[in-house]
Copies of this chain bind each other. A is one copy, B any other.
């Protein structure tokens, strides 16, 4: 039954200190689905314009990605985002956002989509997230992402969705903003108190912190000598994370930890090139090798003083 993701399929224009690209494929659902497809079946629910043709859709081709839920609206253009990264690559400065086809996006799931096992509500309007969630039957696992904009202007709606999900996957700055607390652990506990059993905090080049009521797990980001373009790293992480979990029969805590590492592995590839260029060319063997490299990166031995 696999994973369903609702989010954006987009065109991006990106400038980094290492180069620029005027139009490449992006969007949360795109990065998410390609990453998750390394582990199993993914269905996309998203909308594009008629400028997103077969050539663009080839990004999904040859993968376990179902496009029945990808609407193409005649006479509309595809969602467009333009952003720029400075010296430290940690923060994107948005130059332009054009919603286009996305402006009137009202996802309607078909019967098969409603049966999804795992649901990822990527960063879209919280009311849309809730609407999609309510269309699903009984997913085993529901996760959401969000952004500062929704915390600013749709806080009550966002809180309502949070109360109904199992997992929140969110940036560090957004955790602090949402709870108005600079202490990340305390802020995370505030979000857990709303209902989610797990919060996964994305910290960019500093890795990931996963917090439950029982335990905290910290994973670094993979240290790379080439970080070319961080766009899509967060959605790739979510795709690897949930993709791995969806492939497991039982969701034990140690599976969540492995999932964090698989998410980090996939994200570490994404940032090595523009768009999905690197993510598309890797093999499952590359993924496994970098998973082993993560073990070597973080392992240390026990000791009694």
A141 to B185, CA, bound (A): 37
Q: From residue 262 to 305 of chain A, which have CB atoms closer than 8 A to chain B?
A: 262, 284, 287-288, 291-292, 295-305
A196-224 vs B, CB cutoff 8 Å, 1 = contact: the mask equals 00000001011101010001111110011
A300 x B258 contact (CB < 8 A): yes
A301 x B218 contact (CB < 8 A): no
Q: Which of B185, B261, B298, B303 contacts A218 (CB 8 A)?
A: B298
Q: Which of B185, B224, B226, B301 contacts A223 (CB 8 A)?
A: B185
Chain B residues, CB < 8 A from A300: 217, 219, 254, 257-258, 260-261, 295, 298
Give the most central of A211, A215, A303: most B CB within 10 Å.
A303
* Given contacts A182-B88, A223-B184, A227-B183, A295 and B302 within 8 Å (CB-CB): yes
> How many chain copies does the complex carry?
2
Chain B residues, CB < 8 A from A209: 220, 223
Closest chain B CB from A84 CB (angstroms): 15
A257 to chain B: closest residue by CB: B300
Q: From residue 167 to 213 of chain A, which have CB atoms closer than 8 A to chain B?
A: 182-186, 189, 203, 205-207, 209, 211
A217 to chain B: closest residue by CB: B297
Chain B residues, CB < 8 A from A87: 182
Chain B residues, CB < 8 A from A54: none
B295 x A258 contact (CB < 8 A): no
Chain B residues, CB < 8 A from A299: 257
Q: From residue 68 to 100 of chain A, which have CB atoms closer than 8 A to chain B?
A: 87-89
Q: From residue 9 to 37 of chain A, which have CB atoms closer than 8 A to chain B?
A: 17
Q: Is A102 an interface residue (CB 8 A)?
A: no
Q: Is A39 an interface residue (CB 8 A)?
A: yes
Closest chain B CB from A65 CB (angstroms): 18
Chain B residues, CB < 8 A from A295: 300, 302
A305 to B246, CA, bound (A): 13
A288 to chain B: closest residue by CB: B305
Chain B residues, CB < 8 A from A17: 182
Q: Which of B211, B219, B258 contacts A301 (CB 8 A)?
A: B258
A39 to B305, CA, bound (A): 8
Closest 5 CB pairs of A and B: A218-B220, A206-B206, A257-B300, A185-B225, A87-B182
Q: Which residues of A contact B (CB under 8 A)?
A: 17, 38-39, 87-89, 182-186, 189, 203, 205-207, 209, 211, 215-220, 223-227, 254, 257-258, 260-262, 284, 287-288, 291-292, 295-305
